[in-house]
Amino acid sequence: MTTSRIDRRFAALHSEGRAAFVTFVMAGDPDPDTSLEILKALPAAGADVIEIGMPFSDPMADGPAVQAAGLRALKAGQTLRRTLELVRGFRSGDDDTPIVLMGYYNPIYSYGSETFLDDAREAGVDGLIIVDLPPEADDELCLPSIERGINFIRLATPTTDERRLPFVLANTSGFVYYVSITGITGTRAPDIGAVTSAVGRIKRHTELPVVVGFGVKTPDQAAAIAAGADGVVVGSALVEAVRGSLDADGHATGGTVEAVSGLVSQLADGVRAGRPKAAE
């Protein structure tokens, strides 16, 4: 496939000698308008790549914080079609920042896979992470995505052994997402030494960037992960920042966008501190 925004962004960061900061936010949380404001604020706050969660009623890999964010979004009327509209709204002012949609296959299947991929490409989506589609189902969505120039990004986990890893990597593009813990999102802190070792093992099998997520919540954790990986993903901490900014009725306040962008700025500083800048 042709070079994507994701490829270009990681190449640029590599030349700068630093890891990528990847932010995860839930589409439509806490409401469509505020969600778009949050998205637009992320690049200036320090996000290099943006993952947007596609709300789903049965998110088996998500911890309590991300589940709650999805439920808030669904309650506010978020749909997959509205998520693509959110991407279009972001793209109207930003044609450079890579956008990755992350979620589950059921909403895409209901939408119609081929139609979804065509609409996603038109909206400006660069990549997909679909956590419940294994490599054995690549014909279902992965290969059609690649045909349309959309990166299909796979998850590798602490239980992905040497025999399984080649299957995970076979049709992966953009980057590899390493899940730093076993279990659901945002519930435990990663073991930095184990993560660094796992990233090194994966990189012996692929030239793709390896980014690390699940459990990273603080600038210090982000810095430690960034020292040994090509990127750091933070999600649960950001959706918790949304939740903590809402009023008693669960509605956005004047401080909601700043609660997220301020935390992103702090975390971005951590990521940038984690790897020294390349020599001039």
Cβ–Cβ < 8 Å for 272, 51: no
Query: Of residues 29, 31, 51, 126, which has the active-site annotation?
Result: 51
Say if residues 131 and 160 touch (Cβ distance below 8 Å). Answer: no
Kindly name the residue from 29, 31, 48, 62 that is annotated as catalytic.
62
116 neighbors 127 (Cβ within 8 angstroms): no
User: Active site includes 258?
Assistant: no
Amino acid at 223: A
Residue where the block lists tokens 């692929």: 206
Q: Are 193 and 242 in contact (CB under 8 A)?
A: no
125: DSSP letter: -
Q: Which residues contact 135 (CB under 8 A, 6 or more apart)?
A: 142, 154, 167, 168, 170, 171
Q: How far is CA 184 from CA 63, 158, 242, 272, in A?
A: 5, 13, 20, 26
Q: How far is CA 17 from CA 129, 229, 269, in A?
A: 26, 11, 14
d(CA 232, CA 192): 12
Q: Tell me the helix, strand and coil percentages in the chain, rounded to 5.
A: 45, 15, 40
- Is 62 known to be catalytic? yes
Positions marked active-site: 51, 62
